[in-house]
Amino acid sequence: MNWLNRKTMNEKDFNNEEISGEAEEQSAEAEFRVTDKRRVNADSKAKTENKVENKKAETKSPQVIELENKLRVETERREAAETKLVGVQSKFDEMKTQMERETAEMRSRMQKSLEDRAKQTQFNFLITLLPVLDNLNLAIDASETDASFEHLLDGVKGTARSFEQALSSVGVEAVESIGAEFNPEFHEAVDMVETDEDEDGKITAVYSHGYKFGERLLRPARVQVGKARAQSATE
């Protein structure tokens, strides 16, 4: 009995599987027909659109075609101009960067040159001061062996002359004083003294010398200025 039931069930399963396979084949065939129909419809639609476009193109007037050609030429010209403008801007930026770099380098070289020149000027001035120090040391040594006033005075005078020469070598000049006309730009009047009429307004004594560097006044000379005596009534 069991054997018969099992056989019957196997036959039913086989029949069901066969029916299922046929159904799947029919479904795939139906889907293929739908897809093929869609493709045919799409091809037909594209052909129709192409025909419409071709028909439109064939029906364009000469004026429209001319305008389209002009538009295309102007578009190409504009694109070429934009490309050229981009190239010019790039070249400008490159030249600007190069000029800024060269300017910075030139400024750095000039700054270094000025610093070197200033240091060289200081160096030269210090060299001119060394003889002054030598004269001072000589005066000191001479005063230790010979303490006479004359030798000490000679040493001090020699030191002063060497120092004046050092100042002169760097462009420092003494302001004209005794016998010169009083000039408030270069002289500072400390006091006045009565003098003859021909010495009125002239410098008669110097308390401290003035100096100038080129056209610039380092310090004014402190001087005494003569003033003509007042004449008596009888004279």
Q: In the chain, pLDDT over 70 holds for what percent of residues?
A: 74
Summarised one tens digit per residue, pLDDT across range 108-136 is: 999 999 999 888 888 888 888 888 888 88
Report the chain's mean pLDDT, rounded to a whole number. Answer: 79
H-type alpha helices, 60-216 = 62-145, 149-169
* Six token digits for residue 193: 């003294």
- C-alpha closest to that of 187 among 198, 200, 175: 175
CATH of domain 76-170: 3.90.20
Phi, psi of 190 (to 5 degrees): -90, -45
Per-residue confidence (pLDDT) for residue 157, from 0 to 100? 84
| Average confidence (pLDDT) over 18-37 | 61
Q: Residue 202 has what DSSP assignment?
A: B
- Domain parsing of the chain, residue ranges: 76-170, 173-235
- Rg (C-alpha) for the chain, rounded Å, is 57
Summarised one tens digit per residue, pLDDT across range 196-212 is: 888 899 999 999 999 99
Residue pair 233/214 in contact by the 8 Å Cβ criterion: no
Phi, psi of 19 (to 5 degrees): -65, -40
Sheet holding 187-195, edge to edge: 187-195, 221-228, 203-208
Summarised one tens digit per residue, pLDDT across range 152-203 is: 788 788 888 888 888 888 888 999 889 999 999 999 999 999 998 888 999 9
Domain 173-235: give its CATH superfamily.
Head domain of nucleotide exchange factor GrpE (2.30.22.10)
Helix, strand, coil % over all residues of the chain, rounded to 5: 70, 15, 15
User: In the beta sheet, which residues pair with residue 224?
Assistant: 191, 205
Summarised one tens digit per residue, pLDDT across range 39-85 is: 666 767 777 766 656 655 556 678 888 888 888 888 888 888 888 88
Confidence class for position 140, pLDDT limits 50, 70, 90:
confident
User: In the beta sheet, which residues pair with residue 193?
Assistant: 226
